[in-house]
Amino acid sequence: MSNTQIPVGIDAIAIATTHFELPLVELAQATDVPVGKYHVGLGQVHMSVPAPDEDAVSLGADALSKLLPATGTEGVRSLFFATESSVDQSKSAGVYLHSLLDLPQNIRTVEFKEACYGGTAALQAALALVARNPEERVIVVAADVARYAVDSSGEPTQGAGAVAMMVSANPRLLEIEPTSGVYTRDINDFWRPNDSTTPYVLGHLSMDAYMDALVGAWDDYAARTGTATTDLARFVHHQPFGKMARKAHRRLMEHAGDTRGDEVIEAGLLYGRDIGNTYTAALYIGLSSLLANEEEDLTGQRLGLFSYGSGAVAEFFVGSPVAGYRDRLRETGADRLAVEAMLGARVSLSFPLYRALHAAVRKDSEDYETPAETKGPFRFAGVKDRVRIYTPTGQAGAGA
């Protein structure tokens, strides 16, 4: 019973993104849309675009390679990989990371899926395992390529990236409280059938479903804990695009009778604005953005975290930064300067090149090789005998 008293949470976090990016002004000009719709209407400025030799596995491996020098692997007995950009229907993407990062053999490796909520499912499972065996640690990787059909309303919200987190007892970054508010409702707002590389999306329905889920998860959380929104200093809401988080926040504040506005979410929106949607990773990239960019010292303050996955599943939970959390971010390159350097090192695409890359994505498993483009530490080299091949590039990775 006393295990619940041991603080558990995120001991360290690292972020990775792609080799390329598209300034949304390029997309706006080429498709004859006022750029204000993207910059202000959606709250997005750039989107990360994967090279042909990048995918959820290579991005996840990149993030994990930044994490491990700061954490080591002692006591790690589980690796959870969350994604909705899965590369195989059977094998966990995490198993590729296990060999690429040369992890110890006595580890359970599993993939989690429930749209953008999958990262939180993996994190909560990790927290529960650590609470039960506090000497163990769990690696959680959330990685996605958010790829929508061209000329769809979701196209400007695309993006790609990954986070890797070490979950442990007595964490050095963020302690996470044991009680959550949870929510499930069967709704077809966004889904991707097995034969499609892009999702089917009812965009406006998904926005309503997201906000209903926020209220539902919050009410469950408040009923179970007696917490008021005013007890929470900042919020990070899942961010498929920045405006979604702003709308959701307004809805929650109205619902709770809290008069605070965007000042309590602003710092968490900065990284996502220039990366785009990263599905399972988006909430945690937002968390990193808040921790790195908020002027005020957040040590010991309670932060509200909201995770949403279409379909739909949601969770509201609370974490508190630990003393020295900014130093901890620096150890994994998740501080502001290092992330800015990583984002600035991406190669900007023109609209025709971006569309050519979009069209070149393959979903078959015939033999092929990919051109060597990524500057990340690992690359997807192609398919041989129906097996996906991942190899080290010998490079440390941009911003690492």
Q: Report the Cα 132 to chain-centroid distance in Å.
A: 26
| Rg of the chain taking only CA atoms, in angstroms | 20
Binding of ligand COA by 134 (CB under 6 A): no
Least distance in Å: CB of 189 to ligand COA? Answer: 7
- Nearest Cα residue to 60 out of 148, 139, 131: 139
Query: How crowded is residue 75: how many other Cβ atoms within 10 Å of its Cβ?
Result: 17
Least distance in Å: CB of 310 to ligand COA? Answer: 5
Q: Using CB under 6 A, pick the residue from 81, 96, 210, 390 that binds ligand COA.
A: 210
Longest CA pairwise span in the chain (Å): 61
Least distance in Å: CB of 181 to ligand COA? Answer: 18
Both tokens assigned to 127? 């927290």
Catalytic site residue 116? yes
Binding segment toward ligand COA, per CB under 6 A, in 51-59, 150-158, 177-185, 351-359: 150-158
Q: At what angle do helices 282-293 and 118-132 cross, to 10 degrees?
A: 70
Binding segment toward ligand COA, per CB under 6 A, in 202-210, 224-232, 345-353, 376-384: 202-210
Q: Catalytic pick from 116, 249, 266, 373?
A: 116
* Alpha-carbon gap, residue 111 to 96, rounded angstroms: 11
Least distance in Å: CB of 383 to ligand COA? Answer: 29
Both tokens assigned to 57? 């596995």
Q: Using CB under 6 A, pick the residue from 154, 276, 321, 382 that binds ligand COA.
A: 154
The residue (of 246 and 336) whose beta carbon lies closer to ligand COA is 246
Both tokens assigned to 92? 């966990």
The residue (of 96 and 210) whose beta carbon lies closer to ligand COA is 210
Q: Using CB under 6 A, pick the residue from 108, 204, 224, 384 that binds ligand COA.
A: 204
Catalytic site residue 21? no
Binding segment toward ligand COA, per CB under 6 A, in 17-25, 30-38, 265-273, 294-302: 30-38
Per DSSP, 39 falls in state: I
Q: Catalytic pick from 21, 26, 84, 266?
A: 84
Least distance in Å: CB of 172 to ligand COA? Answer: 31
Binding of ligand COA by 85 (CB under 6 A): no
* Alpha-carbon gap, residue 44 to 36, rounded angstroms: 10
* Alpha-carbon gap, residue 274 to 265, rounded angstroms: 16
Q: Using CB under 6 A, pick the residue from 41, 75, 134, 178 that binds ligand COA.
A: 41
The residue (of 9 and 242) whose beta carbon lies closer to ligand COA is 242
Could you tell me where the DSSP H helices lie in the chain? 24-31, 35-36, 56-71, 93-100, 118-132, 203-225, 242-256, 270-275, 282-293, 325-331, 336-344, 351-360
Contact positions with ligand COA (CB under 6 A) in 273-312 = 310
Q: Using CB under 6 A, pick the residue from 15, 22, 42, 322 that binds ligand COA.
A: 42
Strand pairing class (108-112; 200-201)? unpaired
Binding of ligand COA by 29 (CB under 6 A): no
Binding of ligand COA by 240 (CB under 6 A): yes
390 labeled binding residue: no
148 labeled binding residue: yes
In sequence order, what DSSP letters do the residues of 270-285 get, joined into one string?
HHHHHH---GGGHHHH
**At 45, is the secondary structure helix, strand, or coil?**
coil
The residue (of 42 and 139) whose beta carbon lies closer to ligand COA is 42
- Nearest Cα residue to 63 out of 398, 294, 384: 398
Nearest 5°: CA angle at 353, between 350 and 359?
140
Least distance in Å: CB of 153 to ligand COA? Answer: 4
CA atoms 153, 278, 319, 332: torsion sign: negative
Least distance in Å: CB of 244 to ligand COA? Answer: 5
37 labeled binding residue: no
Binding of ligand COA by 40 (CB under 6 A): yes
Both tokens assigned to 201? 């999306």
Q: Using CB under 6 A, pick the residue from 17, 78, 83, 157 that binds ligand COA.
A: 157
What is the phi/psi pair of residue 129, to 5°? -65, -40
- Catalytically active residues are 84, 116, 238
Binding residues are 148, 247, 277
Binding site for ligand COA (CB under 6 A): 34, 36-37, 40-42, 153-154, 157, 201, 203-204, 206-207, 210, 240-241, 243-244, 310
Task: Please report, in range form, the residues annotated as the binding site for substrate.
Answer: 148
